[in-house]
A and B are shown apart, each in its own frame.
Chain A
Amino acid sequence: MANKISDETMEYVGILAKLRLSDEEKENAKSDMEKMLDYIDTLNELDTTGVEPMSHVFPVNNVFREDIVENGDGSEDTLANAPLKKEQGFKVPKTIG
């Protein structure tokens, strides 16, 4: 079964991933994605009925920290790499119109 990815889907995924592809990139990405999905679809040959999805490979549970303040003023390090900053904050285009 060959997967077909529509332009709308590419547009939609671009919104989710915050990527804007050029027309050429888009065509390539579309055909790459179709091929990959065809390949991924081979997983359907495998009967996984009743198999628990495994997100963690080892049964390690309950890793916690105690509720103790250890960090001091981190603002200098936090802002050290900021592309644009203002008044000790990160400056971004206005978020609410």
Chain B
Amino acid sequence: MDICSMTALELGKKIQQKEISAVEAVKAALECIEDREPEINSFVTVDAEGALKRAEEVQKSIEEGTIVSPLAGVPVGIKDNMCTKGLLTTCGSKILKNFKPTFTAEAVRNLERAGAVIVGKTNMDEFAMGSTTETSYYGETRNPWNPAHVPGGSSGGSCAAVAAGECTYALGSDTGGSIRQPSSFCGVVGIKPTYGTVSRYGLIAYGSSLDQIGPVGKNVADCAAVLEIIASHDKKDSTSIDRKDYDFTSALVDDVKGMRIGIPRDYFLEGLDCEVKENILNAVKVLEDKGAVVEEFDLSLVQYAIPAYYVIASAEASSNLSRFDGVKYGYRTETYEGLHDMYKKTRSEGFGAEVKRRIMLGSFVLSSGYYDAYYLKALRTKALIKKAFDSAFETYDMIAAPAAPATAPRLGESLSDPLKMYLGDIYTISANLAGLPGISVPVGTDSLGLPIGMQLIGNCFEEKKIIRAAYAYEQTRADAGKGAD
């Protein structure tokens, strides 16, 4: 019985049935971590001691019958931009190298209430800015399918850890594709929920109007189960939405008859790797064979999503990250002369190149004389993009698309040209601008053996439709939920 290859629901069931204890589960995960970490580096912090202690408590609660959640006792990895009380939370940055939050993020608390056992904090691009998990101060994460390649990002640590079996599932965050793209690169399933579905309280903000926490799992069912637990209306997050339809597992139905799937022509033009294209169109065909109605259409405005995104995200980031100044927490430079020197030295030493680049850009586009031309223009573009999606969803239940233009690049290949790296977000970014839910589900591998993910984008608040379609597709694959060995 290989605990590390089980899905979260399988493992959770065996724990509920007392076949496996929570302690055995966490020990298996820790062994796997010990085995794989030297190569993959999915974690910034592994909390072996805390996890074992917690597993014992959870086991006791299960035996007493006080926790009956389907995922109680299952080991989970938390992206290192979510606050965990007393446990180092770095955001992949030097500037938070010693930061121990005094409270726990609401999404993580929801998991804890359901008996989750946190094994550690997963690696990420610094402050979630990046698509490769190479900008982390704590070293790059490698793709478990082929360690010469990146796992994607920014939730690369979460996705790699799940693919390698180091934890059974994980939480990631998605600002411009940071769950869906690395899920695709690592052959796991990831969901970016509708904006406002999962509380952002305790998520260290990158782009506040775009950030959402979501699950990363071995299959669609695991992700639906995790989303059901973490989603909540939180009074501490003013943008949290009271939905009342949190029963996402009810959508795990193998039936897509009559579902209308739109294929945006603009997403399948030049720039898309032909192996990726072929695999995705094949997957769409599978859904069509199962009774879905598939149609090509023109989404329009596709090329404007990235520039609009980078204006909005950088602007918000420049403000969100100004609190890291060496005064209240985190890193402070050793020597300085006066206040402003302290600020500048602390921040220049504490932030990496990509973070500084985006803070500079964000400060510039908001500065006097440029606000209207850049920031307001981007917000107007966002409104038009939202409108384009609204009209697409009048016709279609969902949109099928790639999660990335190609499979995982080799380490070091992307960072040299930032603009090219940004272009890699072309299929994921619009969902963040329009607040829409998206799921990435594995549909095959390329000739190098690297995974390919299909993205399904739903209308806002219609996670259930994309979960259902992804689930139905997954039923046709024998290798579903296997991960990288």
Whether A and B touch (Cβ < 8 Å) is answered with: yes
* Cβ–Cβ contact B98 & A43, under 8 A: no
Q: Could you say which of B238, B241, B307 contacts A40, with CB atoms under 8 Å apart? A: B307
Residues of A contacting B239 in the complex (Cβ-Cβ under 8 angstroms)? 56, 60, 63
Residue A2 is within 8 A (CB to CB) of chain B in the complex: no
* Cβ–Cβ contact A13 & B379, under 8 A: no
Expressed in whole angstroms, the minimum distance between the Cβ of A36 and any Cβ of chain B is 6
Contacts A20-B345, A56-B239, A60-B239 given: A36-B419 contact, CB under 8 Å?
yes
Residue A25 is within 8 A (CB to CB) of chain B in the complex: yes
Residue B447 is within 8 A (CB to CB) of chain A in the complex: no
Which residue in chain A gives the minimum CB-CB distance to B353? A25
* A54 to B358 CA separation, bound complex (whole angstroms): 21
* A78 to B101 CA separation, bound complex (whole angstroms): 10
Contacts A19-B347, A80-B102 given: A53-B376 contact, CB under 8 Å?
yes
Contacts A40-B307, A51-B384, A92-B342 given: A17-B434 contact, CB under 8 Å?
no
Most buried by B among A35, A40, A51, A82: A40
* Cβ–Cβ contact A18 & B383, under 8 A: no
Interface mask (A25-66 → B, CB under 8 Å = 1, otherwise 0): 100110011011001111110101001111111101001010
Residues of B contacting A95 in the complex (Cβ-Cβ under 8 angstroms)? 339
* A19 to B358 CA separation, bound complex (whole angstroms): 12
**Interchain residue pairs with CB less than 8 A apart (24):** A17-B359, A17-B363, A18-B325, A18-B343, A18-B344, A20-B344, A21-B360, A29-B360, A46-B301, A53-B379, A57-B434, A58-B196, A60-B239, A77-B102, A78-B102, A80-B100, A81-B328, A82-B328, A83-B327, A83-B329, A90-B327, A92-B342, A93-B341, A93-B342
Contacts A80-B100, A95-B339 given: A46-B360 contact, CB under 8 Å?
no
Q: Could you say which of B103, B340, B383, B434 contacts A53, with CB atoms under 8 Å apart? A: B383
B residues sitting closer than 8 Å to A (CB atoms) are: 98-100, 102-103, 195-196, 209, 235, 238-239, 241, 301, 303-304, 306-308, 310-311, 318, 322, 325-332, 336-345, 347-348, 351, 353, 356-357, 359-365, 367, 374, 376-384, 386, 418-419, 433-435, 460
Residues of B contacting A25 in the complex (Cβ-Cβ under 8 angstroms)? 353, 356
Excluding A43-B378, A46-B381, A94-B339, 4 further A-B contacts by CB distance (< 8 Å) are A20-B345, A35-B418, A51-B383, A83-B326
Q: Could you say which of A18, A46, A53, A56 contacts B304, with CB atoms under 8 Å apart? A: A46
Expressed in whole angstroms, the minimum distance between the Cβ of A93 and any Cβ of chain B is 4
* A12 to B434 CA separation, bound complex (whole angstroms): 33
Residues of A contacting B306 in the complex (Cβ-Cβ under 8 angstroms)? 39
* Cβ–Cβ contact B235 & A65, under 8 A: yes
Expressed in whole angstroms, the minimum distance between the Cβ of A89 and any Cβ of chain B is 11
Residue A69 is within 8 A (CB to CB) of chain B in the complex: no
Q: Could you say which of A33, A54, A82 contacts B329, with CB atoms under 8 Å apart? A: A82
Residues of A contacting B341 in the complex (Cβ-Cβ under 8 angstroms)? 93
Number of A-B contacts (CB under 8 A): 161
* A52 to B386 CA separation, bound complex (whole angstroms): 12
Contacts A21-B356, A46-B304 given: A52-B339 contact, CB under 8 Å?
no
Cβ-closest 7 pairs across A and B: A53-B379, A81-B329, A48-B380, A54-B383, A57-B435, A77-B102, A83-B332
**Prevailing SS type, chain B contact patch:** helix
Which residue in chain A gives the minimum CB-CB distance to B372? A53
Which residue in chain A gives the minimum CB-CB distance to B384? A51
* Cβ–Cβ contact B339 & A51, under 8 A: no
* Cβ–Cβ contact B329 & A16, under 8 A: no
Residue A84 is within 8 A (CB to CB) of chain B in the complex: yes
Residues of A contacting B195 in the complex (Cβ-Cβ under 8 angstroms)? 57-58
Residues of A contacting B330 in the complex (Cβ-Cβ under 8 angstroms)? 81, 83
Q: Could you say which of B209, B238, B363, B380 contacts A13, with CB atoms under 8 Å apart? A: B363
* Cβ–Cβ contact B308 & A43, under 8 A: yes
* A36 to B417 CA separation, bound complex (whole angstroms): 11
Q: Could you say which of B311, B348, B380 contacts A19, with CB atoms under 8 Å apart? A: B348
* Cβ–Cβ contact A33 & B326, under 8 A: no
Q: Could you say which of B329, B340, B377 contacts A43, with CB atoms under 8 Å apart? A: B377
Residues of A contacting B374 in the complex (Cβ-Cβ under 8 angstroms)? 40
Residues of B contacting A58 in the complex (Cβ-Cβ under 8 angstroms)? 195-196, 241, 435, 460
Expressed in whole angstroms, the minimum distance between the Cβ of A39 and any Cβ of chain B is 6
Which residue in chain B gives the minimum CB-CB distance to A52? B383
